[in-house]
Amino acid sequence: MLVVLANLLNRGPMIWIAPLIAGAMTPLAFAPFGFSLLIFPALMVLFHHWLTLPPKQALRSGYLFGLGLFGVGCSWVFVSMYNYGGLGMAGSLLATAIFVAILALYPAGASWLAVKLRDYCHRPWQQLLLLASLWAGCEMFRGWFLTGFSWLNSGTSQLEMPLSGFAPLLGVYGVSWLVALSAGLLLFWVYQRQQGWRFGVVFILLWLSAGLLQSIEWTEAQGEPIQVSAMQGNVGLDVKWLPEQRSENFNIYAGLTEAHWQSDLVLWPETAMTAFLHQVDGQIDPFIATAQDTETTLITGIPVYDQASDKYYNALVAFNEGQSALYYKRHLVPFGEYIPFESVLGRLLEFMSIPMSSFTAGSDHQDTLRGAGLDIGASICYEIAFAEEMIQSLPKANLLVNVSNDTWFDGSLAPYQHLQMARMRALESERWIVRATNTGISAIIDDNGDIREVSPQNEVYVVSGEIQPRSGATPYVMWGNWPIWVLIVSTLLWFGGRYYRGPRVV
């Protein structure tokens, strides 16, 4: 029966339909659905085509898989463009279609490479190594090329599964590599009817090892727990940036904070204050004095204008013991916060009503913020998706904060996916994360990536609770992505060398 099914995947309309459906069901493995195991049959379909189809058909299969994956998983792009981009229905559909069509090129390229190199894999274990390295390499390249789009990485889908035990060692891309390896092992378990049990044994041992790793603590608690509060003001984008709304925005967050001066750390979301920092001194000074009297550290998102350089920054400011410190967002969102290739594409701004879309990126070498007697690693919105950037403040930082404005994607999958990525960053670093958003989802996440407190969406809410500062470094914090990069590159160079030396020798 399994042989018949495998043959059906390569015949008639199924050769088109199967990869499209497999890609489309892959986002169901991620938040908010959480059907983590679905990613394995989806990848098994794709890998089956990698191992059996000729190059052009495999390229098409990979592209269709990508269309399904990103068409469903990144459908939130349409929500943002239609509701806030000013492009209208047709323009938003076109922009989303172009975005998805470009992203689908990544799995298509991996599929083409797989077919080119598969005949130089002499044994099943070599094919498994190729499958896992190409899939994880595809995700890593997507997370780097043209500033990167590190979304829907397959490793993130395994937060609730045993393979997450490898996250503190190898990071999300290492888990992605193991996800692909697991899918390959299951595929060969099916393929090799008589000897398939060997692949089943390896699969079981891999997952048992991952489960055992979940019990290891790589870092340690430092000092006593502290009380934190994350404010969610629920200010919609339709009014947030109106000049007459500026004072009201401040009053909303000030009012929420009044009941939480007992907290050691209060966090307001991204651009909670919609005037520039130099414009709010008179308004915020009395408030900061109260924070100093109560020994509370306030961290808030606010735009900053540097008059000396004539540059704008998306920033966090920490008011601590009468002093302030700034963090400038380093990884900006293309077309949302700046226009890439502005000399060519700059006129695009004339058609898009996106506020504050001319920011400058902050330096890659910024110190931690100080608050509640601790070192705090900061990130703004999109930055939480990039594991290699989040660990730059570690092991110095005792906790991490993230602020965001997921209002852009209200009613879509994006806020849930965004929160899931934050959970993976907590697990990789074994640091608690406090997350404040404008309209949700705000949360307190512990060092195991578990949610301790969480807000509903589209409500005024305060997420409050105790967190435990930590010190030390996980292996991933120490090594970063280097181990998985070396594994992937060496694998591809090995098989690439075989390809250029000539035909396979049996």
Q: Just list the catalytic residues.
A: 270, 329, 381
Chain centre to alpha carbon of residue 130:
25
On whether the CB atoms of residues 277 and 317 are closer than 8 A, the answer is yes
The partner residues of 232 in beta bridges, in order of sequence, read 461
Torsion 241-87-410-445 (CA) sign: negative
The amino acid present at 443, given as its one-letter code, is: A
DSSP 334: B
Structure tokens at 51: 């191992």
Structure tokens at 63: 């592209």
Work out the number of other CB atoms within 10 angstroms of the CB of residue 458: 14
Give the DSSP H/E element, type plus range, for residue 133: helix 124-142
**Rounded Cα distance, 205 and 215, in Å:** 16
42 Cβ neighbours under 8 A, 6+ residues apart: 22, 23, 25, 26, 29
On whether the CB atoms of residues 439 and 410 are closer than 8 A, the answer is yes
Structure tokens at 12: 């008639």
DSSP 325: E
End-to-end Cα, the chain, rounded Å: 30
